[in-house]
Structure 1
């Protein structure tokens, strides 16, 4: 895929959402998003042990406002607002998520649902919102099943 195609795809709010991508594409996606002046938030889940750790890492990467409640409802609220970090689009790179997904399957599904709901809300405002979850290429096929 060419850089022009990737720019076109990322700039389209109607295609935003949570997607599993090949980890080899993560840097290119981040660079392309940055070239569009999107806010790019990288979250590394290496060693993340629980939901509290996930919330903490998201809050740090996103610069969430003081008073962030660190629960699913609060996460949903901040991801659909982002008024403290205005940008023409948003890209979250949730890296090293495979072990966290395996250890916390139900919470992982809730997390994906919240990310997709945020993307849907942002699309109504004509703003692209992406949550990209890089996984090793050999694991992507298993994720699709």
Structure 2
């Protein structure tokens, strides 16, 4: 995808949500998000063993306040707030997530639901919220 097309896509809150994308596009996505003055959070899930570690990594990457409760409800509340991280939009890049996703089972489905709900909430405020999972192209092809 060309740079301008990528920027236009990311700028559209109606298109935003949680998606699996080609890992080859990760840098272009991060650059487009930065150009749009989004808060870009790169969350490395390599070696992430469980829900507790996932929540810790997300909280660190998004500078969650000390009151963050480290559970699914607190994650949903925090992602729908982000008042401590003002930006024109939000781009979460959950990188190297394939091993976590493969072993996470129901937790992976819950996370996707929370991310999509946050995106829908932000879309109502006309602000894009993207949660992208860059995967190796062969893994992405196998999913489709």
Q: Where in structure 2 are the equivalents of 1:27-46 lying within 5 Å? A: 27-46=27-46
Q: Partners of 1:130 and 1:93 in 2: how far apart? A: 8
| Other-structure match for 2:73 | 73
Q: Where in structure 2 are the equivalents of 1:58-137 lying within 5 Å? A: 58-137=58-137
Q: Partners of 1:46 and 1:140 in 2: how far apart? A: 17
Secondary structure (helix, strand or coil) at the match of 2:47 reads coil
Q: Which runs of 5+ in 1 are unaligned?
A: none
Tell me how far 1:2 sits from its aligned partner. Answer: 1.1
Q: Spell out structure 1 runs of 4+ moving beyond 3 A.
A: none
Q: Could you give the per-residue CA deviations for residues 6-65 of structure 1, whole angstroms, max 9, x where no partner exists?
A: 110000000000010000001100000000000000000111111000000000000001
Q: Partners of 1:95 and 1:7 in 2: how far apart? A: 20
Q: Partners of 2:79 and 2:143 in 1: how far apart? A: 24
TM-score (norm 2): 0.98
| Other-structure match for 2:50 | 50
Tell me how far 1:141 sits from its aligned partner. Answer: 2.4
TM-score (norm 1): 0.97
Q: Partners of 1:71 and 1:141 in 2: how far apart? A: 32
Q: Partners of 1:109 and 1:38 in 2: how far apart? A: 26
Q: Partners of 2:143 and 2:52 in 1: how far apart? A: 24
Q: Give the alignment's Cα RMSD to 1 decimal.
A: 0.7
Q: May I ask how many residue pairs the two structures share in their alignment?
A: 144
